[in-house]
Amino acid sequence: MSHVGLRQRDARAIAEIGRLRFSPLSLVGGRGNRLIEEGGRAVLDLSGSAGPALLGYGHPAIVEAVEKSIRNMAGASLLLYPNEPAVSLAEKLLAVTPGEGERRVWFGHSGSDANDCALRVLAAATGRPRFISFIGSYHGNLSGSMGISGHTAMTHTLPRPGVLLLPYPDPYRPRFSAEAVLSMLDYQFETTCPPHQVAAVFIEPMMSDGGLIVPPPGFLKALQERCRRHGIKIVVDEVKVGLARSGLMHCFEHEGLTPDMVVFGKALGGGLPLSAVVGPKEIMDHAAAFALLTTAGNPVATAAGGAVLKAIEDERLPGRSARIGTLFAEGLRALAGRHEIIGEVRGRGLAVGVDLVVNRDTREPVPATTTAKIIYRCYELGAALTYVGLKANVLEFMPPLTLTADDAAEGVAIVDQAIADVMAGKVSDADVASFMMW
């Protein structure tokens, strides 16, 4: 009988509704900035497993913290008893997250449940039923968080009633300028979306799954001012681009935002399931038994979270992300001289996107097959990455912040070769048919 590989077993056992596969990469291990493929090949990870692998794989600080915590487990839940790692992490999050007044922390397992929690508690505590978010935004895949998301991959599910989805101004494809969006918001406030009905606006300080879009300078700050005038709370979703990835501790700092609530996820657990909401005491203490997840805040996941925050400080990861991110983006930008398909390289720190176009003048996005082929070829050449964007035309780079300058150069060389090979027709449509995901 022939050997049945992980990929076939995956296809037979794992539900399609819970997976995105961008290449045949199947994993048996990981160390540092490399993923170990079934068969033993080490692949350079430029995906960060979609964000959580902020410190790569098997980082000694996380291993040590988790080992210590699981050997002497202080319970398995934060519901019934406080535990040291969870309380310490909450204290630390309060210390590193700017904000005024008394605040409290809620722990969950994923960015989705954290956005759900923020949404529900804001609606209940303010008595306001409406929310504002953006077309292209991704806030999660649970009922609540999905209901305020605006990604085109989610049109299978209706938005939450009363949600106002605004365009996110895109400087590269300026169909709606910052001024136009603000004017649309003013008009909505004057007409069918009375601002006193709006509890909060959910903001991605850089739109990530919607296409790695850095907002035009001043846009988010102007939006914040308009909302504050009406008592609308500012919620910043830092799940993907927060915690040092953007080159600053918090991505919202680039935009001059002063959020009422901040949502953390992905990187916070360093690969373990962990999310958090930091918000005003009067909202976060709204009611008892309001957002209880039994194993959330368990001492193992929160010990990992503590190790992540400590490593961000000890290894000065914001500065490192800015430095290596600049190197990496410059390397990718230099490829534009050889490859017409590269329309723009953008991002902040080690959150980098490469926007692929059919034509640099019209900026028409390439078809998803082209993006998928480049990712497939990168996989063959030894690097893992994914794509994002409402037209599936943006290569997404979210590597571990432990990426070295050599790793960055290796990644750029692989992308260079992969684009050349795809343009030369070395990858077929059939090769990527099962890797075009969203």
Q: Does 239 help bind ligand PLP (rule: CB under 6 A)?
A: yes
In the shown chain, the binding pattern of residues 254 to 293 toward ligand PLP, with x for contact by CB under 6 A and - for none, equals -----------xx---------------------------
CB closer to ligand PLP out of 396 and 421: 396
CA distance 107 to 323: 31
204 near ligand PLP (CB under 6 A): yes
Three-class secondary structure of residue 131 per DSSP: strand
* Position 47 contacts ligand PLP (CB under 6 A): no
Helix (H, G, I), strand (E, B) or coil at 203: strand
Size of the site for ligand PLP (CB under 6 A): 15
* b/e sequence 202-241, b meaning 16+ C-beta within 10 Å: bbbbbbbbbbbbbbbeebbeebbebbeeeebbbbbbbbbb
Closest CA to 267 of 54, 33, 23: 54
Alpha-carbon distance 263 to 275, whole Å?
A: 8
Alpha-carbon gap, residue 247 to 287, rounded angstroms: 37
Which helix (H) or strand (E) is 279 found in, with range? strand 275-280
Is residue 302 near ligand PLP by the rule CB under 6 A?
no
- Rounded CA-CA distance 211/352 in Å is 10
> Which of 34, 59, 130, 139 is close enough to bind ligand PLP by CB under 6 A?
139
The first and second tokens of residue 38, run together, are: 């079934």
Question: Is there binding between residue 246 and ligand PLP (CB under 6 A)?
Answer: no
| Residue 389 interacts with ligand PLP (CB under 6 A): yes or no | no
| Under 8 Å between Cβ of 221 and 257 | yes
The residue from 240, 254, 320, 391 that contacts ligand PLP (CB under 6 A) is: 240
Interaction of residue 151 with ligand PLP, rule CB under 6 A: no
Residues 98-117 that bind ligand PLP (CB under 6 A): 110-112, 115
138 is catalytic: yes
User: Residues for the chain: how many in total?
Assistant: 438
Please, which residue, 37 or 255, has the CB nearer to ligand PLP?
Answer: 255
CB of 140 to ligand PLP, least distance (A): 4
Q: How far is the CB of 123 from ligand PLP (least distance, A)?
A: 18
| Catalytic residue positions, numbered | 138
In the complex, the residues that contact ligand PLP under the rule CB under 6 A are 110-112, 115, 138-140, 204, 208-209, 237, 239-240, 265-266
